[in-house]
Amino acid sequence: MPRITILDEATANRIAAGEVVERPASAVKELLENSLDAGADKIDVEITGGGLKSITVVDNGCGMDVEDAKLAFLRHATSKILYAQDLENIQSLGFRGEALPSIAAVSRVIMKTRPPESFSGTALEMQGGHLLSVIPAGCPAGTSIQVTDLFYNTPARRKHMKSVSTEAGLVSDVVTRTAMSRPSAGIRLFNNGRLAFQSDGSGRLLNVLASVYGPEIAGMMLPFYLEQDGITIDGFITGPGVHRSSRRHINIFVNGRYIRNYIIVSAITEACQTIIPQGRFPLAAISLMLNPETVDVNIHPSKMEIKITGEQNIYRLIKSAVQKALFTPVIIPVEKNLELPPAMSGTLEGKGLRVSPAGEEDRLCSPNGSSKLILNEEKFAYVGTPIPVQSPSPDPLFSVFSAGGGNSSPPLETTEAGNTECSREDLIISLYPIGFLPPTYMLCGGREGLYILDQHAAHERILFEKFYDLFNAGNSGVQYLLLPQTLNLSHREAEIARSNMDFLHKLGINLEDFGGETMILRGVPPGLPEGSEKSFVLDVLEQLVKPAKTVSSGSLHFAAAAAAACSAAIKSGTKSSPAETAFLLKELAAAKNPYTCPHGRPTIICISTTELSSRFKRT
């Protein structure tokens, strides 16, 4: 008697369900994709008990007749493809024909469906993969599917589900990502009878992002668009003011399908490398439209892992598009709703003075000409180019440093309406020094109010870009030391240094092997201050020593430039003259990204005139 047997259909479906339907969120994802493939533009999702008790999805799609309704629950029955070659040109979300039979195998399902041209619909009931009944029914055009008692017949799977709130949260993630992928579809999510999410179906991705993250965060997102080599890249990303501790808010869609892709995420995070602090990640929604023949989605039943032809080119294009979006507008943190220290607040109130909250937030012009609120998360304002200014800047001659000279940049042209328009370079250059605020800040006056410059961060940004360009060009030169220095390295560091001598020489690091774990440092890149040579070389070696990580020359140049800039920048406690500050502002304005240091910290912030007027009761 043979020991190998062919499994019956019910058992096979339950095995397949283990991959397709991992949890309630998986079932919701598959049902939503079916609705979108059916042409629905209105979809309601309702869950109870985190989706384990019940899931109901109702759409206004094309519906099915009675024969198609019965075929839909058979394995590998699909309307999306006919032949094997169709797998090379997938343009629908689903195509495997596994979703409905897999869901029905581990739950109880009632489906009601009607094509718009039919007068009556069909009601079909399944339990544990078995068809119980098929009867005519009156129902709206489209399809509604109710899934109850998910995993009732697979107790081991049900036992390992998370809490009801966690499962509901995962379902919410699926619904919101689906809404982002199809802004033209109005999607609502009800959790235990309460409306938890709603997209308006307007076709505008920014409206969906406002529904997901709130209007404040959406208002701070910068748009980007690029069309090249048959690839269209479109989306929104947050700047330096909004970031999270994980990458999960980077949402990637390829041909309308939510996917996970390390290359694309890396392109986005590297584009933000000096914009946000290390270890933090932006919020982003990026849509890529590619030739379907270059995308292989037949990798895993979840269809979230795909293979893309030409990933390196896509990486380059995404990085370029995101960087252009981040570096184009004027991004200066505007401090709002400043709070006095409790001690000072109590002192003022004790003297009969009432400390009131700041007034309403004002608005600035966005890059597309519309108004955006100055928002409260780290309180960054995105100021478009050009910037309308209602009144000219105060005359530098009346500043505190009038006798010592100020920023002598020429006055900006004034439009017929009396408004001054300036670019981001003009805005920074037009600032005039007022005074020094220990330990490292310079106070400056400007068109929008009081600007506070972190001179170390600003100088660090300027030097970083210069060092980075030199290192990339491979001609940084060498500044030979009058007295060579001895480096006592670890065995690992010494071996790394020996195997990377050519690369170190290109960075301007001249090392001589002295045997064992000892190296003689004879030269460093020009511009490093005295006393920082050893720490700079050790920082570079640290990047080369990192275990189990492939380090590109670009990332090493970045790390070396950041280390050199940090060592050479103005130190805390240094008091710069007005002329030195003016020159620093001029150099900062010419930087590719003048708003943050290489570590993502801001170089300059602004306390707006509105805020100052509110504090002095002049509003």
Could you tell me whether strands 284-289 and 250-254 are parallel, antiparallel, or unpaired per DSSP bridges?
Answer: parallel
pLDDT tens digits, one per residue of 78-88: 766 566 666 66
Mean pLDDT is lowest, of 123-132, 371-380, 491-500, for 371-380
Distance (Å, whole) CA 378 – CA 239: 11
Across the chain, mean pLDDT equals: 78
Could you tell me whether strands 604-608 and 330-335 are parallel, antiparallel, or unpaired per DSSP bridges?
Answer: parallel
Distance (Å, whole) CA 269 – CA 252: 13
Distance (Å, whole) CA 291 – CA 89: 8
CB-based contacts of 483, cutoff 8 Å, min separation 6: none
Is it the case that residue 413 has pLDDT exceeding 50? no
Mean pLDDT is lowest, of 262-276, 531-545, 548-562, for 548-562
Closest CA to 33 of 173, 182, 209: 182
Average pLDDT, stretch 325-340? 63
* Boundary of a domain, candidates 327, 361, 386: 327
CATH of the domain at 315: 3.30.230.10
Residues 586 and 470 in one domain: no
Distance (Å, whole) CA 475 – CA 497: 20
- Three-state DSSP at 550 gives coil
Query: In the structure encoding, which two tokens stand for residue 333, read together?
Result: 């943190």
Distance (Å, whole) CA 30 – CA 21: 9
C-alpha distances (whole Å) from 337 to each of 357, 396, 606 are: 7, 28, 12
Residues 345 and 404 in one domain: yes
Residues 447 and 588 in one domain: yes
Q: Per the domain annotation, does 522 fall within a domain?
A: yes
- How large is the C-alpha radius of gyration of the chain? 31
* Boundary of a domain, candidates 327, 354, 383: 327
Range of the domain at 508: 463-568
Residues 351 and 286 in one domain: no
Distance (Å, whole) CA 484 – CA 180: 59
Residues 18 and 88 in one domain: yes
Q: Which residue has the tokens 């041909």?
A: 255
CB 258 within 8 A of CB 311: no
Count of domains in the chain? 4
Of 205-219, 341-355, 532-546, which has the strongest mean pLDDT?
Answer: 205-219
Distance (Å, whole) CA 75 – CA 564: 61
Residues 45 and 181 in one domain: yes
Read off the pLDDT band of 556 (50, 70, 90): confident
Q: Per the domain annotation, does 206 fall within a domain?
A: no
pLDDT value for 302:
62
Give the angle subtended at the CA of 480 by the CAs of 476 and 485, to the nearest 5°. 120
Q: Per the domain annotation, does 605 fall within a domain?
A: yes
Average pLDDT, stretch 88-93? 68
**Which tops the pLDDT comparison, 362 or 571?**
571
Query: In the structure encoding, which two tokens stand for residue 485, read together?
Result: 């220095």
* Boundary of a domain, candidates 327, 346, 379: 327
CB-based contacts of 548, cutoff 8 Å, min separation 6: none
Residues 536 and 606 in one domain: no
CB 323 within 8 A of CB 367: no
Is it the case that residue 133 has pLDDT exceeding 60? yes
The helix-helix angle for 24-37 and 164-181 (nearest 10°) equals: 20
Residues 53 and 182 in one domain: yes
Residues 264 and 295 in one domain: yes
Residues 257 and 368 in one domain: no
Query: In the structure encoding, which two tokens stand for residue 584, read together?
Result: 């620093």
Is it the case that residue 405 has pLDDT exceeding 60? no
Residues 86 and 166 in one domain: yes
Residues 160 and 23 in one domain: yes
Q: Per the domain annotation, does 102 fall within a domain?
A: yes
Mean pLDDT is lowest, of 34-43, 302-311, 340-349, 454-463, for 340-349
CATH of the domain at 181: 3.30.565.10
Distance (Å, whole) CA 61 – CA 143: 7
The helix-helix angle for 553-568 and 455-473 (nearest 10°) equals: 140
CATH of the domain at 358: 3.30.1540.20
pLDDT value for 545:
64
C-alpha distances (whole Å) from 387 to each of 211, 261, 319, 416, 591 are: 29, 38, 27, 15, 19
Query: In the structure encoding, which two tokens stand for residue 572, read together?
Result: 């805390």
pLDDT value for 345:
38
Distance (Å, whole) CA 325 – CA 153: 51
CATH of the domain at 495: 3.30.1370.100
CB 471 within 8 A of CB 557: yes
pLDDT value for 97:
67
Q: Per the domain annotation, does 249 fall within a domain?
A: yes
Q: Per the domain annotation, does 227 fall within a domain?
A: yes
Which residue blocks in 182-240 are alpha helix, DSSP H? Answer: 205-213, 215-219
Mean pLDDT is lowest, of 25-34, 175-184, 229-238, 267-276, for 267-276
Q: Per the domain annotation, does 212 fall within a domain?
A: no
pLDDT tens digits, one per residue of 147-201: 999 998 888 888 888 888 889 888 999 999 999 999 999 999 999 999 989 999 9
Q: For residue 85, which phi and psi values (nearest 5 degrees)?
A: -65, -20
Q: Which residue has the tokens 């849509």?
A: 287
pLDDT value for 96:
65
Q: For residue 396, which phi and psi values (nearest 5 degrees)?
A: -60, -25
Closest CA to 131 of 100, 165, 164: 100
Q: Per the domain annotation, does 299 fall within a domain?
A: yes
pLDDT tens digits, one per residue of 38-81: 999 999 999 999 999 999 999 999 999 999 898 888 877 776 65
Could you tell me whether strands 284-289 and 479-488 are parallel, antiparallel, or unpaired per DSSP bridges?
Answer: unpaired
What number of other Cβ atoms are within 10 A of residue 55's Cβ?
A: 26
What number of other Cβ atoms are within 10 A of residue 232's Cβ?
A: 14
Q: Is 245 exposed, middle or buried (0-12, 13-18, 19+ CB in 10 A)?
A: exposed
**H/E run at residue 424:** helix 424-429
Closest CA to 177 of 19, 28, 326: 28
pTM (two decimals): 0.63
CB-based contacts of 570, cutoff 8 Å, min separation 6: 440, 455, 456, 459, 576
